[in-house]
Structure formats: structure tokens, C-alpha cells
Amino acid sequence: MTTRVLIAGGGTAGHVFPAVAVARELQRLADVEPVFVGVADRLEARLVPEAGFELRTVQAVPVPRRPSPALLRVPSGVRAAVRQCERVIDEIGAAAAATFGGYVSFPASWAAGRRGLPLVVHEQNAVPGLANRLGSRWAGHIAVSFPGSADSFRRKERCAVTGNPVREDMLRLDRAARRAEAREAFGLDPDRPTLLVFGGSQGARSLNTAIVDAHPHWGDADVQILHAAGASLYTETAAAWERTRTEGAGPRVRLVDFIEDMGDAYAAADVVLCRSGATSIAELTVLGIPAVLVPFPHATGDHQRHNAEALERIGAAVVVADDDLDGARLVAEVLPLLTDPARHAEVEASSKAFGRPDAATNVARLVLGEIEAKEAAT
């Protein structure tokens, strides 16, 4: 008999992709039908159906980060969302729930608690988000991606370090076999050490500025750069590159606005310069790519800094504060990783040691274990 599991996680790709990865693993391990709950105008409304899963929508109210009149609407909005989640649980006959953060996760967790469903909460970042901290009170297990995250939960004895699930295409990626083809696809030299720079789909102005300003600091280093400036920052960045490259020689640069296939980008790269969001860290460490991480300074709870420092402590990445990043500092940190084989190998090994390619399996087994325990108790 098919078992249905309610899955909640949305708002950003960082919540949706791990949820989808776990849903697929649940299907692989057992006769499970995952059913997602999310918000109609958020990213999950597109990504979940594209992944082939059913999505039920509810009206979830975001919690304002600062005092405002919108705070007055939160209690009634949350209660309404909880009731909607309860209806979904009843309609699908859910045997368990798993939540991954985002607006809908807290009401889904509360609804699971009210219905007595086994619940697993997964946290991607080193510093837990509000929805997961609140929702964890009903969880039988709390799956965390960073060992130190357990200290942020009141019931840390329920925490298990599972890692952060990544997309299947990343787990299957053979960077070495795909490297030459990927570099040629971007118009790069297939044999030249390559730095990949990206700041997410919208880009990161400080990273864009620093990599342009770094151009005269590379000296005679035989390297090349793949730079994804971000859709909203592409025009200004292209103009900055044009001005800089007229001033003198420097590395070969391939500038794009957005990279559709990150697998190709990772295959092309020897080193990555990027922010330290949970998804980027999970992908980099599963693949073992040395990175220079520049945490977004305005992230909620400063979680990107904590994410990055967890890697820095074990030698899996170099961390540079956003305020400290300029062209000279960028080259000083990146160049040894690109040109010193021993240094590259050292960081690569530490990165792979941190990575958890089994993360989706670990979380899925927690969910199935909760179901089995509930069945045994009844």
C-alpha cells in the first residue's frame, strides 16, 4: 500500500531543491508518494510540478523582520495556514511530514503536530531559520547540515547531521570527464586553469566589482575566468569589463549574465569565488571544488558567515568578508588555489570530506524510520 508523505519547503530554491531530492529518495527507498504543500506565488509553484510532484497550495503569511502593521495579520494568517495544511493532511491521508524551511514550513509543522504525524525538520544553514526553529518543537528528528547547528535547537538530542541534499545531476557529475567539453562550450581554453565567479541568479555587485578590479593584479598568471554577473547586473558589469580590458593585459574572461547549467560551470572550474549560501556549499563540497567564499553580509542571522566559517575551520575553503574584498585581496586568495597543485589538492580533499553525497538518503531514512516507529507503537 502506498504511503503518502507531506513535504513542505519553499520560497527559495535553497528550500525547494533539498525537498525535491528527499522526495525522490523516498520514492526510491519505499512505496511512498510525496505530496508537496506550498504557496502559489512562490518558487515552489514552478519547481515542484516541473520535478513531477503534486503541489497543494495554501496561503502562508511571511513574518516581517521588523515591526510593522503587517505583524498584526500574522497570527490569524498562521492559524488559517495551519487549518489549510491540516485539510491537506486529511485529504491525502499523510503518514508523516517533512519540512525544509520557508513560509509554509511552520504551519505545516504545526499541522503535523496537531494531527499527531511523525515529523522530520531539515535545516540547510549553520544558523537555523525561524520557521524551522519554531517547527522543530513537533519534530521527532531534526536533520541538520552543519554539526554545530544542533546547539541552536532546544531539543538538540533529536538532531542528526545528515548534510544538505543536492540535485541528482550534481551527484552524477564527472567533472574531470566533462571538463574540456564544458570549457569549450563557454568559449574557454580547455587546458587553462579556470576561476568561476558567480553571485546567484541576480548576481552580487561586490563580487563583480572585485573581479573586474583584480584584472591588473594577476601579473603573468596563465589563468582564465568564467564570470556570471547576474541578470540584473550584467549591463553595468559588461561596461566595467570593457573599460578595464582597454587598460592593459590580463586573464582571458568569459562574461555571461546567467548560467543555466551549473554542472557545466562546475566542470569547467578549478576554483570558485561565490557567496556562501547553503546550496552552493552543499554542491561545492559534494564535488570537492576549492572555493573562496564571500558571505552575503545582510543574510538573516548572518547565516552565510557561519556557513562559510564551518568550511574554513576544516580547511575546505577560504573566507573573505565582503568589506575586505577588493581586486588585490581576491588575487592573493585565489591564485594559490589555481596555480599551486599541492594547495589545491589540500583544499579539495578537505572540501570532499565535508561533502555529504548521501544527504538525501540520510533524511529520507529518518522519515521512514519515524513512520516505522509510529506503526510499531500502534
Question: Binning pLDDT at 50, 70 and 90, where does residue 250 land?
Answer: confident
When pLDDT is averaged across residues 107-121 and rounded to a whole number, the result is 97
How far apart, in whole angstroms, are the C-alpha atoms of residue 62 and residue 68?
12
Handedness of CA 46, 50, 51, 53 (dihedral sign): positive
pLDDT bucket at 60, cuts 50 / 70 / 90:
confident
Q: Residue 62: pLDDT band by 50, 70, 90 thresholds?
A: low
Specify the CATH number of the domain 3-166+357-377.
3.40.50.2000
For residues 39 and 12, is the Cβ–Cβ distance under 8 A? no
Over its C-alpha atoms, the chain yields an Rg (Å, rounded) of 22
Mean pLDDT, range 58-81, rounded to an integer: 68
Per-residue model confidence as pLDDT tens digits over 273-285: 999 999 999 999 9
Write the CB contacts of 230 (distance below 8 Å, at least 6 apart in sequence).
198, 199, 200, 201, 202, 203, 204, 208, 237, 257, 258
Arithmetic mean of pLDDT over the chain: 93
State the CATH class of domain 169-354: alpha beta
Residues of the chain with CATH 3.40.50.2000: 3-166+357-377, 169-354
In tens, the pLDDT along 269-312 reads 999 999 999 999 999 999 999 999 999 999 988 999 999 999 99
Amino acid sitting at position 226: L
The reported pLDDT for the residue numbered 341 is 97
Query: Do residues 283 and 266 lie in contact, with contact meaning Cβ atoms separated by under 8 Å?
Result: yes
Full-model pTM: 0.93
pLDDT on residue 74:
63
**What is the model's pLDDT at position 203?**
87
Question: Residue 69: pLDDT band by 50, 70, 90 thresholds?
Answer: low
Identify the band that residue 245 occupies on the pLDDT scale cut at 50, 70 and 90: confident
> pLDDT category, 150, cuts 50, 70, 90?
very high
Burial of 252 from C-beta contacts in 10 A (0-12 / 13-18 / 19+): middle
The 10s digit of each residue's pLDDT in 96-107 is: 999 999 889 999
Question: In the predicted model, is pLDDT for residue 65 greater than 60?
Answer: no
The pLDDT, as a whole number, for residue 247 is 64
pLDDT confidence of residue 68? 54
In contact, 94 and 4? CB cutoff 8 Å: yes
Q: Tell me: pLDDT of 248 over 90.
A: no
Q: Check whether 132 has a pLDDT greater than 60.
A: yes
The pLDDT tens digits for 253-264 are: 999 999 989 999
In whole angstroms, what is the distance from residue 194 CA to residue 197 CA? 10
pLDDT exceeds cutoff 70 at 71: no
